[in-house]
Structure 1
Amino acid sequence: MSARSVIISGAGPVGLVLALDLARRGISSTVLERREAGEPPSVKCNHVASRTMEAFRRLGIANDVRDAGLPADYPNDCVYRTTVTQGHEITRIPIPARAERWTDFDGPDTWWPTAEPPHRINQIYLEPIIFAHAEAHPLITIHNRTELVEAAQDEDGVTATARNLDSGETMTLAAPYLIGCDGGRSLVRNIIGAKLSGDPVVQRVQSTYIRAPKLLSMMQGRPGWMNLSLNPRRSGNTVAIDGKENWLIHCYLYEHEEDFDAIDRDAAIRTILGVGDDFEYEIISKEDWIGRRLVADKFRDRRIFICGDSAHLWVPYAGYGMNAGIADAMNLAWLLAGTLNGWGGAHLLDAYEAERLPITEQVSHFAMNHAISAMAHRREVPAEVEQDDDAGAEARAGMGKRVYDLNVQQYCCGGLNFGYFYPKSPLITYDGEQAPGYSMAGFQPSTVPGCRTPHFWRTNGRSAYDDFGADYTLMRFDPAVDVLPLQIAAAEAGVPLEIIDVAEDERTGVYRHALLLSRPDLHVAWRGDALPDDVDGLVGKIRGA
């Protein structure tokens, strides 16, 4: 057993990001994955959140991700019409296409303080990019067509048994830690005895992945990334997958419709699209799903952890299934690495559950409440919405405002990206100031300990994050403040610490203190105008001693 290694069950985006972030910190991993190498996932997540793109930037893969997905000139708008191809436009949420991202600043998500805006790309294109980077890394070993069978732990580490699905042969693996990134039916979750609780059914959606080469040319006006149909007969969402001919159609079932097979799939698709019987399309796959809000009661048992869908399942509004899982991974990676690299204290790993479980519970309610509101809108589509007269125009105007005000929050969800904070972390030194509240869409940048370290641009043209160290970074806004005692204390404890002097013309108003200590995951660990008297105590706090 290597003293600086982990076992990861699951090579989806969460498991692969965990492996990559561990690898850049010198930790090797063995990843077990049931699918073939390069086998794409089902057509699910279509959105990479800004916070996830920031993580990809730190991993060195952001440019590769941004160069893939929808064509550069394909609009990212969310368009609400009575049907996709016919009738009237109800409202539109403008979102820049990839080619417009650095020049168009009029949209509701273009003001965000970040070097990495969100990106629209389906997981079938995203995952192979992450997989290729992980597969090429010398510290990452991926066993495809291999499943975890069982695992046991003791005070020294974890012993796991894995089976090759083709040959049936088994192998035994040993490592200090095991992490389950193995999805909603997680074996690792069962191994640690974690239980899901919450709301098992929030929404049922009959989804169909189709090929329809003529559909794009039939759309009226500027097409959208999301093309949402609202009418009294059958509402749905037609998602552009390749920007050419492949589409994922979500047919939102009414609350009384509990049997997917009882709904005429073809009739629903044609109603949502607004096409007749002569319209030709090919079904690639059926992707029906049930939206849930379920959160595990624990994310860890000693040396075994769970991340992503293994730990939480919720309605995928705001795209926060995969993105929340990647946030889990980026949180856990530095805690594991600090422990395995020797500078982490005995309680460093306690922060994972203490930080991620409460925020997961909170964010899952955002998503569920949004789903309930969206379902109410679909129930209340006015009968006049498709009429060509004044009554129809009035109905569309009223509904358009309600729909825009609700859904701009999920498609331009700044609060979920940048607003969340850790209020009760064992690794953070709080100073009594309350962190600002946030909504799905809105947030206020803050340096309150526990908040995201606010982004700013440096005079050298670089994002401040690009100049941060891989682990802890101390920003000094007043060069006269002596920080040598903290450097010495960190060095003696083995804690990696980068010191950055920030010029006055780089400093944004949100930075009110002379010093700010930023964690490896870009959350504020401590701030002050001078070092505390007990610098050893501060270092002990941030390293979990």
Structure 2
Amino acid sequence: MTDLSADVVIVGAGPVGLTLAMELDRRGVSSLIIEKRRAGEPPNVKCNHVSARSMEIFRGLGIADRIRATGLPDDYPHSVSYRTTVTGREITCVPIPSRAGRERGDPGPDTDWPTPEPPHRINQIFLEPVLFEAALERPGIEIVNEAKVTGFTDTGGGVTVSIERDDGRTFSASGRYMVGCDGGRSEVRSAIGAKLQGDAVVQRVQSTYIRAPGLIDLMDGPPTWGMFAYNPVRTGVVYSIDGRDTWLIHNYLKEDEADFDSVDRDWAIRQILGVDDDFSYEILTREDWFGRRLVVDKLREGNVFICGDAAHLWVPYAGYGMNAGIADAHNLAMHMGGVFAGWADPSALDAHEAERLPITEQVSHFAMNHAHEMARKRKAVPPEIDDDTPEGAAAREKAGKALYDLNVQQYCCAGLNFGYYYEASPLIVRDGTPPPYSMGDFTASTVPGARLPNVRIDDEQWLYDVQGTGFALICTDPESEVESLLSAARAAGLPITLIDLPDAPEPYGKALVLARPDNHIAWRSNKVPTDPTALIDRLRGVRVPEAVR
């Protein structure tokens, strides 16, 4: 096979690698993706949730509608219910509208998102083909399937990659940079000497993907996207994959169940579903796994980077394993795009690690703490929870309130989507401290480092749509003089758009707010700085004094 080249070589064509390639292509940067699986081979049944922030990113790529049209049927509820068993009594429910329900404006705690792109429930087996097809449509992306990276050399000026096809043929590829998006067992991570640190085992889960066409007919109430079985014998969760016949079952092992084989799989499945031995189902795949909280000590070695599960592994609460990886890709593509376009200094790439590592550490603790709290709840299921008695009803009411209050944060997690900020970035001019955030809540802010509050511009467009792939200078005061700042940006080749927003909402407390291409705020003030060039150089990664204002 002929040797290949691209600006960036990406290892892994999962959601993170494909998103990175499309974000780079959007910025005029070519990429070559090396993927072990054959073209069209489905992934494992993993992530079931695309966050609102990820959907905003997919909107920028022009594929949000394609993703939202895929997954569960239009009217299948995206709600999460807690039941004695999947076919038993409902204890509580977090009501989340279906795809059609969102369009109708159905109520629920998951409906007041400050964005045109709320989250979407879709399993990775449906998401990934959409991303793969969209990537193939882009001229700057080439994907080589059924191939693996066998080694690479960082020459200082670029990376040379050795590749072997499944049929034994070998070839090489070269790029300015290489990015390992090759999952939790990342060989790229090992090769650059990055070490995972944290908690190796938070929980153990026996996971089974089944086909059970008759399950919905046995349910005591309408099916929901996620159904937790909460009883003293067995606790677990069942996710609807296609809204009809296929289901993913997670059986949470207890502390005294030392290994995955210590629990009979069929028995546990039947206890979680609440069915007897006459009920028939088919096991499609099984994948037992450890819930972990592990984050690498570095994201880069020279010209080689890692993203996604290669960089962080944690308990998949709130669906934030994949979604954090998509945010990694979006951030890295911005920095790399700036370097290739010439407006960013190569040293700006150091900001990727300074920005993303603290966030992955924060999110990993949110997920782990939630996992520990749910484990405590599972150990304390009242024995009378399913009794048809006043005591049973009281137990269900008490447990229902506790389960709802804890888990509405996970499934309506605005804080994890929009609350985080880049406090330690060398490319951001500090001015105040963004408000604290939790898994479920945040306060919109224009403090540098925070996410730019997205607001509606007209019937068709929101602020991010107008911003595009460049910087945006948001001007809320028509009297502000901004030409000197715009001129300094253009002189440095920095892509920038002036957006007048005279009726800006409350978070826009300053006359001028400058946002980066990744929609995070870089600077704000009531007037242009006395030395606009120094500010622009700061944003480009050129070292300047801290006191830029």
TM-score in terms of structure 1 length: 0.98
- Residue 528 (structure 2) pairs with residue 531 (structure 1): yes
**Alignment-mate amino acid for residue 451 of structure 2:** R
Partner of 2:60: 58
- Residue 33 (structure 2) pairs with residue 31 (structure 1): yes
Matched-pair contact (CA < 8 Å) for 1:475–1:517:
yes
- Residue 516 (structure 2) pairs with residue 519 (structure 1): yes
With over 3 angstroms needed to count, the CA separation of the structure-2 counterparts of 1:53 and 1:288, relative to structure 1, is: same
TM-aligned CA deviation for residue 4 of structure 1: 6.9
TM-score in terms of structure 2 length: 0.97
Partner of 2:547: none
Partner of 1:80: 82
**d(CA) in 1 for partners of 2:30, 2:99:** 34
**d(CA) in 2 for partners of 1:469, 1:515:** 18
**d(CA) in 2 for partners of 1:531, 1:277:** 73
Partner of 2:144: 143
Matched-pair contact (CA < 8 Å) for 2:4–2:173:
no
Greater shift, 186-195 or 65-74, is seen at: 186-195
Stretches of structure 2 that go unaligned for 5 or more consecutive residues are: 543-549
Partner of 2:16: 14
Partner of 1:5: 7
Matched-pair contact (CA < 8 Å) for 1:203–1:290:
yes
**Alignment-mate amino acid for residue 434 of structure 1:** T
Q: Note the alpha carbon deviations across 1:382-417, whole angstroms, 9 max, x for none.
A: 001010000001111111111111111111111000
**d(CA) in 1 for partners of 2:242, 2:459:** 37
Instruction: State the secondary structure of the residue aligned to 1:142.
Output: strand
TM-aligned CA deviation for residue 142 of structure 1: 0.2
TM-aligned CA deviation for residue 104 of structure 1: 2.8
**d(CA) in 2 for partners of 1:312, 1:232:** 33
Instruction: State the secondary structure of the residue aligned to 2:82.
Output: strand
**d(CA) in 1 for partners of 2:395, 2:459:** 52
**d(CA) in 2 for partners of 1:40, 1:211:** 16
Instruction: State the secondary structure of the residue aligned to 2:347.
Output: coil
Matches within 5 A, 1:238-257: 238-257=238-257
Instruction: State the secondary structure of the residue aligned to 2:23.
Output: helix
**d(CA) in 2 for partners of 1:162, 1:2:** 10
Matched-pair contact (CA < 8 Å) for 1:4–1:340:
no
Instruction: State the secondary structure of the residue aligned to 1:456.
Output: coil
Matches within 5 A, 1:99-498: 99-104=100-105, 106-165=107-166, 167-431=167-431, 433-498=432-497
Q: Name the % identity.
A: 55
**d(CA) in 2 for partners of 1:343, 1:191:** 31
TM-aligned CA deviation for residue 103 of structure 1: 2.9
**d(CA) in 1 for partners of 2:439, 2:22:** 29
**d(CA) in 2 for partners of 1:215, 1:404:** 25
Matched-pair contact (CA < 8 Å) for 1:43–1:287:
no
**d(CA) in 1 for partners of 2:8, 2:230:** 48
Matched-pair contact (CA < 8 Å) for 2:8–2:175:
yes
Q: Note the alpha carbon deviations across 1:7-48, whole angstroms, 9 max, x for none.
A: 000000000000000001000000000000011100000000
**Alignment-mate amino acid for residue 108 of structure 1:** P
Instruction: State the secondary structure of the residue aligned to 1:294.
Output: strand
**d(CA) in 2 for partners of 1:317, 1:255:** 19
Matched-pair contact (CA < 8 Å) for 1:291–1:315:
yes
**d(CA) in 2 for partners of 1:122, 1:192:** 31
**Alignment-mate amino acid for residue 500 of structure 2:** D
Q: Note the alpha carbon deviations across 1:434-466, whole angstroms, 9 max, x for none.
A: 110000001001000000000111134421111
**d(CA) in 1 for partners of 2:460, 2:174:** 45
**d(CA) in 2 for partners of 1:459, 1:472:** 20
**d(CA) in 2 for partners of 1:75, 1:485:** 52
**Alignment-mate amino acid for residue 321 of structure 2:** G
**d(CA) in 2 for partners of 1:498, 1:188:** 37
Matched-pair contact (CA < 8 Å) for 1:4–1:341:
no
TM-aligned CA deviation for residue 105 of structure 1: 5.2
Partner of 1:42: 44
Instruction: State the secondary structure of the residue aligned to 1:495.
Output: coil
**d(CA) in 2 for partners of 1:21, 1:161:** 25
Instruction: State the secondary structure of the residue aligned to 1:102.
Output: helix
Matched-pair contact (CA < 8 Å) for 2:5–2:173:
no
Q: Note the alpha carbon deviations across 1:309-362, whole angstroms, 9 max, x for none.
A: 000000000000000000000000010111111111132101000000011111
Greater shift, 472-481 or 435-444, is seen at: 472-481
TM-aligned CA deviation for residue 502 of structure 1: 1.5
Matched-pair contact (CA < 8 Å) for 2:5–2:174:
no
Matched-pair contact (CA < 8 Å) for 2:480–2:527:
yes
**d(CA) in 1 for partners of 2:9, 2:321:** 23
Report the RMSD for the aligned CA atoms in angstroms.
Answer: 1.2
Matched-pair contact (CA < 8 Å) for 2:6–2:32:
no
Matched-pair contact (CA < 8 Å) for 1:205–1:253:
yes
**d(CA) in 2 for partners of 1:124, 1:461:** 31
**d(CA) in 2 for partners of 1:211, 1:258:** 28
Greater shift, 254-263 or 333-342, is seen at: 254-263
**d(CA) in 2 for partners of 1:102, 1:516:** 32
**d(CA) in 2 for partners of 1:288, 1:2:** 38
